[in-house]
Amino acid sequence: MSWFAYTEQRKKFIITGVTILCVAILFLTARRNVFSFDGYWHLQTGLDWLRAGLNPWVDHFSYTFNGDSISGSPYIFQALLAGLVSLFGLEPGFQIYKFISFSALITLYIVFLHKLNSKAIIYVLVLPLVVVLLQYRNMARPELISYCLSVIAIMLYYRARSNMTVANMLPILVLMLFWVNYHNPIFGYIIFFGYFVDLGLQNLQQKVNQESWIIWLGWGLAIVMVGFLTPYFQHPLISLLTFDPAWKDLIQEYTPAINLYHKSPAIYVLLLISLITLFLLIKKRQLGLIIVYVIISYGAISMGRLVAPSGIIILCIFIWLASEVDFEMFLSKAKGLTANIIGAIVFLMFAITLWIGVITARNLMQENLLTNARFPAAIIEYMQNNNISGRIFNNYEMGGYLIYSLSPKSTVYIDGRTDILYPSDHFNRYLETMKSTASLEEQIEQYDINLAFLVNNYYTFYLMAGTKDIHLDYVGAKYSLYRKHNPNFPLFGKLLVIPACWNPAMTPMLQAEADKATKVLPEYSPLHAFIQSVLSYSFTEDKEAYLLGQEKVTERTDFEIRFLHYQAIQKEQYLLAIELSKFIKEQTFKDFLTIALANIHLGRLGDAERALDTTTKVRWPNMRDVDLALLYRLLEHIRQHGEFEIIEQSYFDSLNDSTANHRSTSELHLPDYNDFCPVNGI
HEC-encoded secondary structure of 91-117: HHHHHHHHHHHHHHHHHHHHHHHHHCC
DSSP secondary structure string for all residues of 514-579 = HHHHHHHS-TT-THHHHHHHHHHHHH-S-HHHHHHT---GGGS-HHHHHHHHHHHHHTT-HHHHHH
Residue 555 lies in a domain: no
Contact call for residues 447 and 412 (beta carbons, < 8 A): no
CA 573 distance to own-chain centroid = 45
CB of 196 within 8 A of CB of 216? yes
Is residue 54 exposed (0-12), middle (13-18) or buried (19+ Cβ within 10 Å)? middle
Task: Return d(Cα 578, Cα 498) in angstroms, integer.
Answer: 18
* Integer Cα distance of 460 and 466 in angstroms: 10
For 482, the 3-state DSSP assignment is strand
DSSP β-bridge partners for residue 412: 62, 392
Residue 482 lies in a domain: no
Q: Give the Cα separation of 588 and 615 in Å (integer).
A: 8
Q: Which of 367, 382, 403 delimits the end of a domain?
A: 367
As a whole number of angstroms, the distance between CA 292 and CA 297 comes to: 8
Q: Is 512 exposed, middle or buried (0-12, 13-18, 19+ CB in 10 A)?
A: exposed
Closest C-alpha to 289, from 323, 254, 314 = 314
In a domain? residue 530 = no
**Measured between alpha carbons, how far is 304 from 261 in angstroms, rounded to an integer?**
8
Question: Of all helices (H) and strands (E), which one includes residue 472?
Answer: strand 471-475
Closest to 394 (Cα-Cα) out of 41, 47, 46:
41
Helix, strand or coil, per DSSP, at residue 458: helix
Q: How far apart are CA 95 and CA 138, in angstroms?
A: 10
In a domain, 380, yes or no: no
Please state, in angstroms and rounded to a whole number, the distance separating the CA atoms of residues 260 and 257: 5
Region of 292 please: left (phi>0), alpha (psi -120 to 50) or beta: alpha
Q: Which residues lie across from 475 on neighbouring strands? A: 480
Query: Taking a C-beta distance cutoff of 8 angstroms, is the pair 646, 609 a contact?
Result: yes
Cα distance between residue 149 and residue 154, in whole Å: 9
Cα–Cα distances in angstroms (integers) from residue 112 to residues 105, 288, 347, 396, 409, in the given order: 11, 20, 22, 41, 49
**Structural domain harbouring 12:** 3-30+89-367
Q: Which amino acid is at 664?
A: S
- Residue 480 falls within a domain, yes or no? no
Q: Quick one: the chain helix, strand, coil %, rounded to 5? A: 70, 5, 25
User: Cα angle vertex 477, ends 472, 478, to 5°?
Assistant: 80
Total domains in the fold of the chain? 2
Supply the pLDDT for residue 667.
57
Cα distance between residue 550 and residue 536, in whole Å: 12
Burial class (CB in 10 A: 0-12, 13-18, 19+), 645: exposed
Last residue of a domain, one of 348, 367, 386: 367
Helices (H), 407-506: 424-433, 437-447, 458-465, 490-495
Residues in the chain, overall count: 682
Boundary-marking domain end, from 309, 336, 367: 367
Q: What is the tally of helices (H) and strands (E) in the chain?
A: 32, 5
Predicted pLDDT of residue 329: 76
Residues ≥6 apart with Cβ < 8 Å to 35: 139, 367, 371, 374
pLDDT of residue 619: 86
The verdict on residue 113 lying in a domain is yes
Other Cβ atoms within 10 Å of 630 Cβ, number: 23
Q: Quote the percentage of the chain above a pLDDT of 90.
A: 77
3-state secondary structure labels for all residues of 358-414: HHHHHHHHHHCCCHHHHCCHHHHHHHHHCCCCCEEEECHHHHHHHHHHHCCCCEECC
How far, in Å, CA of 333 to CA of 383, rounded? 73
Max Cα distance, the chain (Å): 102
Mean pLDDT by 10 residues, the chain (682 residues): 85 96 97 90 97 95 96 93 97 96 98 96 96 94 96 97 93 97 95 96 92 95 94 85 82 83 91 96 93 96 93 97 84 76 92 96 91 86 97 96 97 94 95 93 97 96 93 96 96 95 95 97 95 95 90 90 96 95 94 96 94 90 84 91 88 85 65 81 48
Peptide bond into 56 cis (omega under 30): no
- Classify residue 52 by burial, with Cβ atoms within 10 Å: 0-12, 13-18, 19+: exposed
How far, in Å, CA of 177 to CA of 172, rounded?
A: 9
Residue 392 lies in a domain: no
* Residue 335 placed within a domain: yes
Cβ count near 7 (within 10 Å)? 21
By the 8 A CB rule, do 201 and 289 touch?
no
